[in-house]
Amino acid sequence: MGVPFEALIPYGIIVGMFGVTGVGLTVAKYIANDGKKARWNKDLWDRQMMERDLRITGSLRGQSTNPEAPKGFELSNPWKLEKRIY
């Protein structure tokens, strides 16, 4: 006894919705990363460089070829203050 074709329609819808959500997530990551591949396994160095790029260009993924820092960058210190308890 075969499976009626009506039973395959819900499975096709389910598979199609998984495809739609996968493509949607890929597009969202692509747009969020300025058209570049998403970064993964970021360590402290990568996060610091992303903060620096954000301060220089205004984008986490943007980079500048300008050899000199923009005006006011010398006052934009990324170091965080920490409380010391003695």
16-43 pLDDT tens trace? 999 999 999 999 999 988 888 888 899 9
List C-alpha distances in Å: 3 to 8, 11, 13, 83: 8, 12, 17, 69
Cα maximum dimension of the chain: 80
Say if residues 42 and 49 touch (Cβ distance below 8 Å): no
User: What Rg do the C-alpha atoms of the chain give, in angstroms?
Assistant: 23
List C-alpha distances in Å: 32 to 9, 26, 44, 56: 34, 10, 20, 18
Give the pLDDT confidence score for residue 77 in this predicted structure: 65
Give the pLDDT confidence score for residue 11 in this predicted structure: 92
